[in-house]
Structure 1
Amino acid sequence: MKYVPLGRTGLKVSRVCLGTMTWGTQNTQADADVQIEYALANGVNFMDTAEMYSIPPNAESYGKTETIIGDWLSRHSSRRQEFVLATKIAGPGLSYIRKGGPITGESIVSSVEASLKRLKTDYIDLYQLHWPNRSTPHFAKHFPGDISFTDLDRKAQSAQMLDILQGIDKCVKAGKIRHFGLSDDTTWGINEYIRLSDQHGLPRVASIQNEFSLLHAKDWPYLIENCVHEDVAYLPWSALAAGALTGKYLGGARPEGSRWSYAQRNGIFRDTPHVEKAVTAYLEVAKNHGITPAQLALAWCDQVDGVSSTIIGATSLSQLKEDMAAFELVLSEEALKDIMTVFKEYPVPF
């Protein structure tokens, strides 16, 4: 396993981050125990979760994944030092979480306390904002006209961000979180947090996790360039495009128990005719180079300049083994050329 810096935190994390969002709906406690043990035994020292999980989110699934991790930690408390534990506070819009209200400094403090109780740990290594208070060009809102940036009250948003940083600072000083990061944010969001941190002597953003894959690479190159030069770790999530890049949804298939067999909060917006064509082509590339489609997609993501650690999730141990093996691969120049041929034909399939 290879390890990389987590921004300027001084922490080193594995190139593979164990995602956990299926634990509690698609996976049981026993499944999670097996995945944790396998990941740790094979060099993974980075685990990501969120108060909102498990997925798909609803009032019944809220907090289940943190509780599952906490159950494991309650039985293995001496192993807490073996990994960097990351979790997230949900942004606005979910009525059953803080009545759908925005993230505030006050909600940071209370939500950290609640996560610590569920996780059964004294501290969180990386506490992330799951999505911003403002609308951002994520979750299929990245096409021109979907969001009006000129309508945003910049001063009001900046004031909210400062309040959030002050809440984070309280938690850092109390020893309850060590570092903070962003998720589903933009270049402006990163830089405004950095500006406010520098101006007010508050904790600096360490990382950002955004959706990034062969089917959804809008962060390349501008946001990733910004991360590299500002020492902000870039953590892709959904490198398999919610499973689409494995090919299991081709032809409208919905395997029982798979993610797309559940109702989705934002709909299955990744299911488009162009995705069908792109995935079919990527499957052929994988076949020609003797690797699985999942390994092709993950190895490509891992080799993108500027990517720090890729968050992967699996619903079975066999899937986890297959996915982790991808990070031992080095794609040949020929394979990369073949991938780019498909990529250029379908650059924005959803």
Structure 2
Amino acid sequence: MNFNRLGSSDLQVSDICLGTMTWGIQNTQEDADAQMAMALDAGINFIDTAEMYPVPPNEQTYGDTERIIGNWIARNQDKRDDIVVMTKIAGAGLKYIREATPITGSAVTTALEDSLTRLHTDYIDVYQLHWPNRVTPHFGKHWPDGADPTRIDREKEIEGMRDILRGIKAAIDAGKIRHWGLSDDTPWGIHTFLRLCEQENVPLPVSIQNEFSLLHAKDWPYLIEMCECENIAYLPWSPLATGMLSGKYQNGARPEGSRWTLAQRMGLFRDQAPAQAATAQYMQVAEKAGITPSQLALAWCRQVPGVTSTIIGATTLDQLSENIAAFDLTLSKDTLSDIHGILKSYPLGF
């Protein structure tokens, strides 16, 4: 297992970050314990979760993923300092989470205390803002008919971000979080937070996690260049495009128990003809290379310059083993050439 420094922090994290958003709906505590054991045995020391999880989010299971991880931590206190735990505060949109209100400094204080309790830990290694308060070009809103930057109230957003940072600073000063990061944000969001951190004397964000895959490469190269030059770790989430790049959803297939059989908060907006066509071609490249489609997508993601650690998830141990093995692969020049030929034809599959 390779390890990389997490942005400007002193943390060394594995090439693989274990995602946990299925724990609590598709996976039980027993499943999670088994995944943790496999991950640790493989050398993974990086775990990602969120107060909103599991996904699809709902009031009945809210916080259960953190509780499952907390149950594991409570039984393995001797391993707590060996793992880097990231969690996230949810933004506006879910009535059962702080009445669907935006992230504020006081919300950071409240949400953090609840996460610490559920996780059975005294500190969070990296505390992240799950999504910005403003509408951003993520979750299918990256096309010209999606997010509208002309509608952003710039001064209101900046003051809201400044207030958030005061909550972050208080948590860092209290030792409840060691570092903080962003998620589902943009170059403007990163730039503004960096400027405000200097003004408010707040430690800089160490990471950002955004959706990034062979079907959704919109962060390359502009946002990733900014991260690299500003020493912010770039952490791709959904490198398999919610499982599409595995090939399991080709030709309308919906395997029993798979994510696409569950109700989706924002619908199956990734299920588009260009994405399916690109996936079919990537499957052919994987077959030619003698690896699985999932391994092709993950091995490609790992070698993208500027990627610090890739967030992977699985519902079975077989899937997790297959995905972990991808990070021992080095794609040949011919395979990369084949991949990039498809990527140029389908730079944004959905």
With structure 2 as the length reference, what TM-score do the two structures score?
Answer: 0.99
Residue 348 of structure 1: how far off its partner (Å): 1.5
Aligned-partner Cα distance in 2 for 1:277–1:289? 19
Q: What is aligned with 2:281?
A: 281
- The code of the aligned residue for 1:229 comes to C
SS at match of 1:205: coil
Deviation at 1:203, TM superposition (A): 2.1
The answer to whether the Cα contact below 8 Å between 1:165 and 1:203 also exists between their aligned partners in 2 is: no
1:37 aligned onto 2:37: yes
Is the counterpart of residue 129 in structure 1 residue 108 in structure 2?
A: no
- Distance in 2, matches of 1:149 and 1:273, equals 28
Which residue pairs with 1:240 in the alignment? 240
**Counterpart of 1:338?**
338
1:298 and 2:298 are equivalent in the alignment? yes
Secondary structure of residue in 2 paired with 1:226 = helix
Give, in whole Å, the separation in 2 of the partners of 1:324 and 1:222: 28
SS of the residue aligned with 1:191? helix
Aligned-pair identity (%): 59
**What amino acid does structure 2 have at the position aligned with 1:33?**
D
How far apart are the structure 2 equivalents of 1:55 and 1:148?
Answer: 27
For residue 341 of structure 1, report the CA deviation from its aligned partner: 1.2
Cα distance, 1:61 vs structure 2: 1.6
CA distance in 1, matches of 2:234, 2:291: 26
Q: Distance in 1 between matches of 2:163 and 2:339?
A: 44
Check conservation: 1:16, 1:312, Cα contact below 8 A: yes
Alignment of 1:2-17 (within 5 A): 2-17=2-17
- Separation of aligned partners in 2, 1:310 and 1:131: 18
Q: Which residue of 1 aligns with 2:76?
A: 76
Unaligned runs of 5+ in 2: none
User: In structure 1, how many angstroms separate the alpha carbons of the residues matched to 2:143 and 2:276?
Assistant: 20
1:325 aligns with 2:333: no
Matched position secondary structure for 2:206: strand
Mapping for residues 86-97 of structure 1, pairs under 5 Å: 86-97=86-97
User: Structure 2 CA distance, aligned partners of 1:285 and 1:341?
Assistant: 11
State which drifts further: 212-221 or 37-46.
37-46
What letter is aligned with 1:252? G
Whole-angstrom distance in 2 between the partners of 1:60 and 1:302: 35
Per-residue deviation, 1:276: 1.3
**1: CA distance, partners of 2:145 / 2:264:** 23
In 1: Cα distance, 2:151 partner to 2:317 partner:
47
Which residue is equivalent to 1:61?
61
Between the aligned partners of 2:259 and 2:21, the Cα distance in structure 1 is 11
Q: TM (normalized to structure 1)?
A: 0.99
2:211 match: 211
Alignment map for 1:127-276 (pairs within 5 Å): 127-276=127-276
Contact 1:23-1:32 at 8 Å conserved across structures: yes
Distance 1:105 1:320 in 2: 37
**3-state SS of paired residue (2:57):** coil
Q: Distance in 2 between matches of 1:120 and 1:204?
A: 26
**Aligned ranges for residues 88-127 of structure 1 at < 5 Å?**
88-127=88-127
- Residue 17 of structure 1 aligns to a residue whose secondary structure is strand
In the alignment, the residues of structure 2 paired with residue 334 and residue 34 of structure 1 have an alpha-carbon distance, to the nearest angstrom, of 37
Is the partner of 1:263 in helix, strand or coil? coil
CA distance in 1, matches of 2:255, 2:147: 34
Deviation string 1:65-91 (CA, Å, 9 cap, x unpaired) is 000000111111111011100000001
Aligned-partner residue type, residue 246 of structure 2:
T
Q: Is the 8 A contact 1:48 1:87 kept in 2?
A: yes
Q: Distance in 1 between matches of 2:193 and 2:347?
A: 30
SS at match of 1:143: coil
Rounded Cα–Cα distance in structure 2 between residues aligned with 1:46 and 1:146: 33
More divergent stretch after superposition (150-159 vs 44-53): 150-159
Match in the other structure for 1:349: 349
CA deviations 1:255-292 (Å, max 9, x no partner) are 11100000100100110111111111000000001000
Give the Cα–Cα distance (whole angstroms) in 2 for the partners of residues 73 and 270 of structure 1: 35
Q: Deviations over 1:145-193 (max 9, x none)?
A: 3222122111110100010000011111111100000000000101110
The count of corresponding residues between Structure 1 and Structure 2 is 350
Aligned AA (2:263): A
Query: 2:151, 2:294 → 1: CA distance?
Result: 40
Q: Distance in 1 between matches of 2:12 and 2:22?
A: 25
SS in 1 for 2:330: coil
Q: Secondary structure at the match of 1:291?
A: coil
Residues 89-114 of structure 1: per-residue CA shift (max 9 Å, x gap): 00111111000000000000010000
The 2-side partners of 1:54 and 1:22 are apart by 5
Runs of 4+ in 1 over 4 A off after TM superposition: none
How large is the Cα RMSD of the aligned pairs? Answer: 0.6
